Chains A and B, each alone.
Chain A
Amino acid sequence: MAINEEAILKSELRWAMVVGGIVAVILIAILYAALAMHINPPSNREYVDPKTLHLSAEFTEANLGTRVDPNGQIVARVIATQFEFVPNCIVLPAERDVTLRFTSPDVIHGILISGTNVNTMIVPGYVAQVHSRFTKTGDLLMPCHEFCGLGHSQMLATVRVVPAEAFRPGPDGRIACGDRR
């Protein structure tokens, strides 16, 4: 059987090379996305006290929603709580870099924004931060994707992506879904 063993070894080596090639192609594709297209898993690590969110500087009710900072950075702050998002609709411009910041006062939640790569978990005690750039306009659904209790299936929000020229925040830099300017 010596000849067959040799043939089997050869075919195994060939397969190993094919699989090595496939793994290399996939790794190159992932590196290309990370380095050239800035597609990376969100990896922010920032702590916040979940018991005093309403007293914190950043996540007080008046500070939630979309705001354009004086330096031009567009930041949307959202609290995910059982069983709603506050606010439940945020406005963001298309073709502009935006930052989304989430946190939770109660249990673990998670979000994804339909049709985009935005996807993160929201863990009490941490701020989940995602940078993105939306390419399409329209109302996108943002459901909770981490089972958070009996009302989980009712927990969803809207991300309204408007053309950059239609994104006109007020003098305080804020813009909300109900605004008509």
Chain B
Amino acid sequence: MVEPSYPESAHDYSSDAEEFERLEDSLGEAPRGALVVSAIAVGLLLVGWLGLYFLVFLPRGSVG
């Protein structure tokens, strides 16, 4: 079994400073994943909107 590379609990950190540094690293990584998820969600929404607009709405012709 592969040993986990992270400590089992916060108490295993040698100091508060190390814990703080690790926490900062983790928080620094987090937005990247959030950005990817939101970029996919917004991208799909935009593609869907543009698809309906140009492929369905505009070909249906003028109205007013």
Contacts and interface: CB of A to CB of B under 8 A. Distances in A.
Partners in one complex: yes
Interface of A: 1, 3-4, 7-8, 11, 15, 18-19, 22, 25-26, 29, 33, 37-43, 115-119, 130-135
- The size class of the interface chain B forms with chain A is 20 to 34
B28 A39 contact: no
B13 interface: no
B64 A131 contact: yes
A116 B28 contact: no
Given A4-B24, A11-B35, 6 more contacts: A4-B28, A7-B28, A15-B38, A19-B42, A29-B50, A39-B64
**7 closest residue pairs by CB, A with B:** A40-B64, A117-B63, A38-B62, A117-B60, A132-B63, A131-B64, A135-B61
A1 B24 contact: yes
Contacts of B35: 11, 15
Contacts of A116: 60-61, 63
B58 A115 contact: no
A25 B43 CA distance: 13
20 contacts: A1-B24, A1-B27, A4-B27, A11-B31, A11-B35, A22-B42, A22-B46, A38-B62, A39-B63, A42-B64, A116-B60, A117-B57, A117-B62, A117-B63, A130-B64, A131-B62, A132-B61, A132-B62, A133-B61, A134-B61
